[in-house]
Amino acid sequence: MVNQFDYLSKRNVYSPEAEALVDVETGKRYTYGEFNKRANKVANFLQQKVGLEKGDRLCVLAQNSLEFWEVFFGCQKCGGIFSPLNWRLVARELAGLVNDLTPSVLFYDADLAKVASDLKKEGAVDHWVSLSSGGTEIDGSFVYEEEMKSVESSSPKAVSLAYEDPMGIVFTGGTTGLPKGAMITYRQVAFNTLTTIRDILPGDVYINHLPLFHVGGLYVYAIPLFILGGKVIQMKRWDLDTLIQVINKENPNFFFAVPTQYRMLMNHPDFESINFSNVRFLTSGGEPLPLDIIKTFREKHGVKFKQGFGMTEVGPGCFALDPWDAERKVGSIGTPNFFIDAKAVDPETGKDCKANEVGELLFKGPTVTIGYWNRPEMNKTLLDDEGWFRTGDMVYFDDEGYYYVVDRVKDMFISGGENVYPREIEKVLEQHPKIAEVQVIGVPDPKWGEVGRAVVVLKQGQEASEEEILNFCTDKLAKFKIPKSVVYVDSFTPYISGAGKILKRKLREDFGKEEK
């Protein structure tokens, strides 16, 4: 009898010959039958050699690969809690997360062997597994492929799981202190899959370039597609030229990227020759998709965009803007997904907002996390008395019920007693003909408390003075909202997180000091 939560065993019953997973880096291709056997081997290794039991944590410190997915589903078959680690962090930062999780086992790849070695000196881990061999493994490690040769591919010992059990722990990007590990339950995965059926179909082909340590890479589309029997084309990391090659070769039905990445694709010299003939839609998130990108993809390739909004603790898919509304409701995150209740409230009084009033976004429903790992005090106040989860995002909804993100509560600054939302200013400056990208931050000011500063990337070959840019805001924004200074950068690439979002915190560190 197949456990209802053993997704690969289920697919092995339904579609063993269907192609499930392709590794762009190595060229390996798995059917669901082959994929299931490999995951069984991992599970047998974990049960027999590591002693992994239900509820034990398993960490992976590795870039995207087939092996990453094998370990994920092997862990799931054992009832373990899968917690991927951000490989961009240094050993000291990782040690805090590892010691918080106390995992039974940690898998690492060759590229991160040095970090793993440093981490081993500080991190509380019982067993270490090298996903590579040939001198890259640290002392005392199991070597993955050697272990895979010595274990059976038959089904592992069955584990009883429930919908409220955690399937994984994904760390949210903390701005101060230790990041919080949001627990992702089987219930959340089930309801998120039901939500994505609004978009994806059994047999769909999806390109996944997002880092698998992030909820977007693991849970948004990839796992629902495995449940539905589709195919995931897995890239090791984001690379524009590789993405174009994969689109032309694999004929995907959809993929996800952030606006910055779509602009890079749009500006590539091969853009007009890319084969989008099989693409049903593209998905964008992280920040509003500019109108010129929407129009260019539509005019050149007939491609439609879906947009949305998600977060680690909820969903992860929370809102969706359908393709037919992409231009009519430009800048909107759309309407709440199935099984998600949303509202905006005054953050001070808790009073429900009316249409077009800015308030904090709250969620309720079966896709909300059960809590943060090892944060009992925080979990006591995770939900309010009526079961609502506070997001910290400031939003409003229009007369038709379409939501718009104004800003993060923490990104808002107060100038002369007035609330200023950087996103509102950015939307104006994005219309400047010489500006490619812009971010606005608050900086200290002796008179007003804080004032705005625009961090600008100019379009190639363009020049624009500070005065020209600031004057552009006149008659478009109230005077207190107009930035008082401009700084220029070549690119925002150093400020993009693994989730594809601009790190305002890092911008404030570099450009947020008061001018002398």
Q: Domain containing 96: what range?
A: 7-161
In this model, does residue 347 exceed pLDDT 90? no
- Do 364 and 449 have their domain in common? no
In this model, does residue 500 exceed pLDDT 70? no
pLDDT of residue 79: 96
Residue closest to 430 by CA, chosen among 393, 395, 477: 477
- Do 302 and 362 have their domain in common? yes
In this model, does residue 285 exceed pLDDT 90? no
- State mean pLDDT over 135-160: 92
Question: Hey, is 115 helix, strand or coil?
Answer: helix
In this model, does residue 436 exceed pLDDT 90? yes
- Do 307 and 448 have their domain in common? no
In this model, does residue 378 exceed pLDDT 60? yes
pLDDT of residue 498: 61
The answer to whether position 334 is within a domain reads yes
The answer to whether position 516 is within a domain reads no
pLDDT confidence bin for 1, thresholds 50/70/90? low
- Do 321 and 344 have their domain in common? yes
In this model, does residue 242 exceed pLDDT 80? yes
The answer to whether position 425 is within a domain reads yes
The answer to whether position 444 is within a domain reads yes
The answer to whether position 166 is within a domain reads no
Residues 6+ apart with CB under 8 A from 461: none
- Do 221 and 305 have their domain in common? yes
- State mean pLDDT over 10-28: 97
pLDDT of residue 174: 45
- Do 438 and 335 have their domain in common? no
The answer to whether position 398 is within a domain reads yes
pLDDT of residue 34: 98
320, exposed or middle or buried, with CB in 10 Å at 0-12, 13-18, 19+? Answer: buried
Cα–Cα distance between 84 and 484 in angstroms, integer? Answer: 42
Element (H, E) at 242: helix 240-250
pLDDT digits (tens, 9 = 90+) for 87-136: 988 888 889 899 999 999 999 999 999 999 999 988 679 999 999 877 78
The residue with tokens 């070769």 is 249
Number of domains in the chain: 3
Instruction: Tell which wins on pLDDT, 183 or 407.
Output: 183
In this model, does residue 408 exceed pLDDT 70? no
Cα–Cα distance between 446 and 442 in angstroms, integer? Answer: 13
Query: Token digits for 102?
Result: 């106390």
Mean pLDDT computed over every residue of the chain:
91
Which CATH number goes with the domain that contains 464?
3.30.300.30
Least confident residue range of 211-215, 266-270, 434-438, 512-516: 512-516
pLDDT confidence bin for 173, thresholds 50/70/90? low
Residues in the chain: 516
- Do 252 and 398 have their domain in common? yes
CB 364 within 8 A of CB 345: no
The partner residues of 414 in beta bridges, in order of sequence, read 419
Which of 352, 374, 408 terminates a domain? The answer is 408
- State mean pLDDT over 312-317: 91
- Do 379 and 269 have their domain in common? yes
Which CATH number goes with the domain that contains 124?
3.40.50.12780
Q: pLDDT over 70 for what percent of the chain?
A: 96
- C-beta atoms surrounding 331 within 10 Å: 17
Alpha helices in 61-176 (DSSP H): 66-78, 91-101, 113-120, 144-150
In this model, does residue 175 exceed pLDDT 50? no
The answer to whether position 174 is within a domain reads no
pLDDT of residue 409: 62
- State mean pLDDT over 467-495: 91
Query: Token digits for 374?
Result: 């090892």
Which of 389, 408, 427 terminates a domain? The answer is 408
pLDDT digits (tens, 9 = 90+) for 29-82: 999 999 999 999 999 999 999 999 999 999 999 999 999 999 999 999 999 999
Would you state the torsion angle of the CA atoms of residues 274, 275, 278, 280, taken in this order, to the nearest 10 degrees? Answer: 20
- Do 504 and 377 have their domain in common? no
Residue closest to 150 by CA, chosen among 52, 47, 41, 46: 41
The answer to whether position 2 is within a domain reads no
Which of 408, 436, 451 terminates a domain? The answer is 408
Query: Token digits for 341?
Result: 């209740």
- Do 424 and 379 have their domain in common? no
pLDDT of residue 176: 40
- Do 143 and 18 have their domain in common? yes
- Do 230 and 373 have their domain in common? yes
pLDDT of residue 414: 74
Cα–Cα distance between 151 and 45 in angstroms, integer? Answer: 6
Cα–Cα distance between 204 and 287 in angstroms, integer? Answer: 26
